[in-house]
Structure 1
Amino acid sequence: MALIGEKTQYHVVATTEREDDRSTETPVDFEAAVSATGYGLFNVLLLLAAIPAGWTVVFDTSTIAFVIPSAECELDLTLFRKGTLAAVTFGGMICTAFFWGYIADQVGRRHLLLFGLILDATCNIFGSASQSYYIYLAFKFVSGVIIGGPFAILMTYIAEFHAERHRSKVLMWTGSLFAVGNIAVPALARAVLPLPWSFSLFDNLFVFDSWRIFLIISGLPPLIGFLTIGFLPESPKFLMTNGNSSEALKIFRKMYSMNTGKSADTYPVKALQLQERYVQKRNASVHSGISSNPNDPQKVVFSKRKSMFSTPYIISIFIVNVVLFASTSGMQIMKSWLPQLIVILNNFDPKESEGLFSSPSICEKLNADAIEAFRTETAVANKNLTKGCVPMAVSPTVYTNATIIAASAVLGSFLAGFIINKVGKKNILFICLVAAGACNFALNWSPTTKVFLILCSAIIALTGISTNAITAMIVEVVPTNLRATAVSISVMTGRLGAVTGNLLFPILLNLTCDAPFYYIGGFLTLAFVVTIFLKKHSGKLE
């Protein structure tokens, strides 16, 4: 059943006083329209505006690693509580991932980004004032709930302003610029945390020392992102998908004018086709009951889910998710716990190793009894026997080392991007998984703290590269019409790996120091083994 006047709604014709000779009133699709805008100033400003928004998740998930050593006594942090704080933001992201995806399709990319960024900034600022562990934990969880959706559609938002010939290159550079946020976090910690800053509000009801001020400053990326994204338009792809071709055409004209320096009236495209999804949605609205249309969106989604769990693809999906779980778990454990481990190693008392025939191993330095002995001796020396918690000294070198390690990991991933096509994604994956697993097994035998840091740096870099490699391989092992769903599942699996790793690490560390390192190394080895069976798909659904 056709709608009255349906043909007149399939495109929007823009009339101008002066038309370019190349212009046409024949409706064109999204790819043709965005290609006609070119590449220039608008695209550069878009990328710059997206950086603070992209850094938001990096800050939300990484700052806790540098706060834990300083806030240990104030928040009464046990090892398990530290692991929970490191994991809870990822847990919040998992809980609402699919919900945000639905909302993004209903209200638009830009509106969701703005809503999420301003709420996250607010959450971070109020969270910095938390005077108890449980309140701060709640704020970290809510932060994960809020930012999980906006970050997931940020790359989609950027992609929908670029033509196909520029899209892959732009997304690669975008990912690299977002990764620089991993360097910015420890660098900011180095600049703020060692300083004796402090102020109070409401007659000392809320006391803000350096680590709380660090959290306030860490809330700036989402706030800046809110301001910069606010100057950008809605995704023209989203507008066309929802039937608003006239507004999409205005955006394309603006992009064309900024990129070429020419008048918007000379934009060659004068009419836009409605997206197929919108036409199907509108046609479906005139039917009652369950549609018999084979292209019905609900049936298409059901068909995709059914195909994903069929024999040709279930093995590939399983292998991809095993690798992502192992790589993300290993990477996030090291990123979250490395500053704390460095603090413990720096505070190791050489007296504890007296009587040993050789230099103490890393695990002997991380021994819980030795740490407790240090605390007791410090309390006695300070004549502070009644105080329940004696904070460890946090040297500025902790943050300096973390900055160097983050920079080396980002540089490693950047260089791997240049050689991955020459060496092959699967070969890169093999090398990174084996090397990262070997580094984990070797951690306890590090002769010095410096060697330990080098191995940790290698683990972070190698697991980061393997995560990027296996994500890129989804294109080769999953058909196009299943790819978006496969990527969504893989993102969830990676976050689940981060949650599981951060919760298990303190439990295993309390049992025996070797256990958490063997856990990471063993999982990475398993990932290497299953990757052997990863095969490319035929490109067709059976």
Structure 2
Amino acid sequence: MEVNSDSESVPRVPENESAEAAVDFETAVSATGYGLFNVLLLMASIPAGWTTVFDTSTTAFIMPSAECELDLSLFRKGLLAASTYAGMICIAVVWGFIADHIGRKYLLLFGLISDAICNVFGSAAQSYYVYLSFKFASGIIVGGPYAILMTYIAEFHGECHRSRVLMWTGSLFALGNVAVPALSRAVLPQTWSFSLFNNSLIFDSWRIFLLICALPPFLGFVTMWSFPESPKFLMTKGKSEEALKVFRRMYSMNTGKPEDAYPVKVLRIETVGKPQTPLEPVDRSSRDGLRRSFCPTKFLLPTPYLFPLFIINVIIFASMTGMQVMKSWLPQLIVILNNFDPEESEDSPIVPTICEKLNVQAIETFGTQAALALGNTTVTCISMIVSTAVYTNATIIAASAVTSSFLVGIIVNKVGKKSILLVSLVSGGLCYLGLNFSPSTTIFLILCSAIIALTGISTNAITSMIIEVVPTTLRATAVSVTLMTGRFGALTGNLLFPILLNVSCDAPFYYIGGFLMLCFVLATFLSKYSGKLS
């Protein structure tokens, strides 16, 4: 990313305004330019942004290793994978309300350090329900910092840089999807182990992996500590002098000039919502504020927004279901296929399907009580054989998915969001439907990689299309509702996957694949609304 500290690139205060004239936020932040401060903020936000990725992804990689110790049945695995999303859904709106009242920075720091502590204690959990509780608590905690972080970063950039910076931010955060499997490849195959409190707490490799995964929120807490409160928030709270100090610091770091050279001298106090009269207090009751935070939602319900928003929410529900289910269960599926004994099918002229392979090893790979089937009455669970290829394949798949998203971001303006959405939905649906017909494990993994990439692309595409069907005053609310729907899709998908897998191996693949194909049909109706409602 290019750092430009040239003074010519710094927007000037309009000449028709005196040096003492009060200016609004956009004018003030644009006058700070773009340079060292902005780049440092972006770099410092990376570990904080990776926190959500780590919290929602690590469970997928420890499930094969922790199966016996935590007594993980199929449904327990699904519940564990869904628990973080359940926590995020429970309190997401409350996080936003609190951030709008007490500030971005300190709430972000509180969330990060709390999540780090929660992850440390979770790594020491010796039972399934204790670990499940910590994962749920982690979801409650981490649901806020991610949304706060994106808002925090946006409020340090002028309009001319904001979109590009948020695009770069999202791309850098997406690299966390590669970091998790890469870290699991380095740690989980090891035989590391140590104990504490006279062997009361035993840390083997998968617990050490969870302990290391507590580093991103802790590092995010450390790196974000030195940055100031959002100047936009300070201005909305009437703290113009504090906001001015922040702008001066930004200006000095970006241009290399002294803070006194910053051209803006007076800031205009900004308010959120309707203008306040002298008789109205700036700070109203928390109960009224929380009630008002839900009010914009009702304006989304009447026509002409109801049907297009219904389509958007159905699509993101399906896309997030398809993406998060595959991400959560991919390591488990790879382990199952790696444990399949090819000698069992050598004499058969028919190549076994993927589902036949899964069913052959269902008891040994998922279950418990496998030892009893072998006549062993002392051991009730046999650990699965987890090769390093599991983590290597997961790393390659994650890297290919992130790369695909980058490439689509480059061509999106040429081909259009609608075309990308339609292609990704129908292609993702076909890939899901074709999983059971994969002639080999390699083809299966290629299809899994395509599914993660395509469903991720469709999620980003449909989120960005909200701009075309919802007016500016309702877009923030619409995005919040849509993301909530997507998280609910991830939650229900992870709960339904093991249930459907117990019914029939084909069932979850056909359910998600058919759902994505239905969304392809629904997406064709969005064209009649694009650009007409904003």
Does the TM-score normalized on the shorter chain lie above 0.5? yes
| Match of residue 180 from structure 2 | 185
Match of 2:21 in 1: 26
d(CA) in 1 for partners of 2:295, 2:98? 22
**DSSP-derived class of the 1:199 partner:** strand
Partner of 1:504: 496
Contact 2:32 2:248 (8 Å CA) reproduced = yes
C-alpha distance after superposition, 1:331-359 (max 9, x if no partner): 00000000000001000123543664401
Instruction: Between 353-362 and 128-137, report the one with greater CA deviation.
Output: 353-362
What is residue 324 of structure 2 aligned with on the other side?
332
- Secondary structure of the corresponding residue to residue 202 of structure 2: strand
Find the partner of 1:35 among 10, 30, 38: 30
Determine the structure 1 residue equivalent to 2:510: 518
Residue 427 of structure 2 corresponds to residue 435 of structure 1:
yes
**Which of 402, 405, 411 matches 1:419?**
411
Counting only pairs closer than 5 Å after superposition, residues 120-131 of structure 1 correspond to structure 2 as 120-131=115-126
Query: What is the TM-score of this pair, normalised by structure 1?
Result: 0.91
1:471-510 to 2 correspondences below 5 Å = 471-510=463-502
1:266–1:353 Cα change, 3 Å:
same
Q: Name the CA shift for 1:372/1:300 in 2 (closer, same or farther; >3 Å).
A: closer
1:79 aligns with 2:74: yes
Q: Which residue, 93, 105, 110 being the options, matches 2:105?
A: 110
**Contact 1:116 1:150 (C-alpha < 8 Å) held by counterparts:** yes
Correspondent of 1:245 among 231, 240, 248: 240
Report if the CA contact (8 A) 1:84-1:502 is conserved: yes
Counterpart amino acid of residue 459 in structure 1? I
Matched residue type, 2:434: A
- Secondary structure, counterpart of 1:312 in structure 2: coil
Secondary structure, counterpart of 1:524 in structure 2: helix
Q: Which residue of 1 aligns with 2:63?
A: 68
Superposition deviation, residue 301 in structure 1? 6.4
Q: Distance in 1 between matches of 2:197 and 2:239?
A: 51
Give the conservation status (yes or no) of the 8 Å contact 1:25–1:270: yes
Judge conservation of contact 1:87–1:502 (CA < 8 Å) in 2. yes
Aligned residue in 2 for 1:167? 162
Match of 2:7 in 1: none
Give how far 1:282 is off: 6.4
Root-mean-square deviation over aligned CA pairs: 2.6
1:200-226 deviations in Å (ceiling 9; x for gaps): 000100000000000000000000000
Shift of 1:510: 0.6
Is the 1:236–1:251 contact (alpha carbons within 8 Å) kept by the matching residues of 2? yes
Per the alignment, residue 338 of structure 2 pairs with: 346
Q: Give the share of equivalent positions with the same residue, in percent.
A: 67
> Do the aligned residues in 1 keep the contact of 2:71 with 2:368 (CA within 8 Å)?
no
- For 2:413, the aligned partner's letter is N
SS of the residue 1:243 aligns to = coil
Q: What's the TM-score once normalised by structure 2's chain length?
A: 0.92
Structure 1 SS opposite 2:299: helix
Mapped partners of 1:297, 1:221: distance in 2: 32
- Hey, what does 1:7 align to over in structure 2? none
Question: Structure 1 residue 217 and structure 2 residue 212: aligned?
Answer: yes
What is the Cα deviation at residue 377 of structure 1?
Answer: 12
Partner of 2:9: none
**8 Å Cα contact 1:241-1:278 kept in structure 2:** no
**CA distance 1:286–1:51, shift in 2 (3 Å):** closer
Distance across 1 between alignment mates of 2:355 and 2:69 = 27
The 8 Å contact of residues 89 and 140 in structure 1, kept in 2 or not, is answered as: yes
Partner of residue 196, structure 2: 201
**In the alignment, is residue 307 of structure 1 matched against residue 299 of structure 2?**
yes
In the alignment, is the contact (CA less than 8 A) between 1:88 and 1:144 conserved in 2? yes
Q: Do the aligned partners of residues 451 and 261 (structure 1) sit closer, same or farther apart at CA in structure 2, a change above 3 Å counting?
A: same
Structure 1 contact 23–269 (Cα < 8 Å) conserved: no
Which residue of the partner structure matches residue 536 of structure 1?
A: 530
2: CA distance, partners of 1:370 / 1:255? 59
Unaligned runs of 5+ in 1: 1-18, 291-295
Shift of 1:477: 1.1
SS at match of 1:311: coil
Give the C-alpha shift of residue 307 in structure 1: 2.6
Equivalent residue for 1:398?
Answer: 390
Give the structure 2 partner of residue 258 of structure 1: 253
Residue 298 of structure 1: how far off its partner (Å):
9.4
**Compared with structure 1, are the counterparts of its residues 66 and 320 closer, same or farther at alpha carbon in structure 2 (3 Å cutoff)?**
same
Check 1:302–1:211 CA distance in 2 against 1; reply closer, same or farther (3 A cut). closer
1:12 is aligned to none
Structure-1 separation of matches of 2:365 and 2:60: 24
Structure 1's 282 and 78: CA in aligned 2 closer, same or farther, altered over 3 A?
farther
Separation (CA, whole Å) in 2 of partners of 1:259 and 1:359: 63
Give the 3-state SS of the residue equivalent to 1:280 in structure 2. Answer: coil
Give deviations 1:136-162, integer Å, cap 9, x for gaps. 000000000011011111111000000
Q: The residue matched to 2:381 in structure 1 has which SS?
A: coil
Q: How far apart are the structure 2 equivalents of 1:325 and 1:361?
A: 29
Q: Where in structure 2 are there 5+ consecutive unaligned residues? A: 1-12
C-alpha spacing 1:42/1:306, structure 2 compared with 1 (3 Å): same
Q: CA deviation at 1:526?
A: 1.2
Query: Post-superposition, which runs of at least 4 consecutive aligned residues in structure 1 deviate over 4 A?
Result: 296-303, 373-385
Q: Does the 8 Å contact 2:24/2:267 carry over to 1?
A: yes
Residue in 1 aligned with 2:313?
A: 321
* Corresponding position: 1:275 with 2:275: no
Q: 1:152 to 1:368 in 2, by over 3 A?
A: farther
In 2, Cα distance between the equivalents of 1:424 and 1:373? 44
* Distance in 2 of aligned mates of 1:427 and 1:286: 49
Equivalent residue letter for 1:392: M
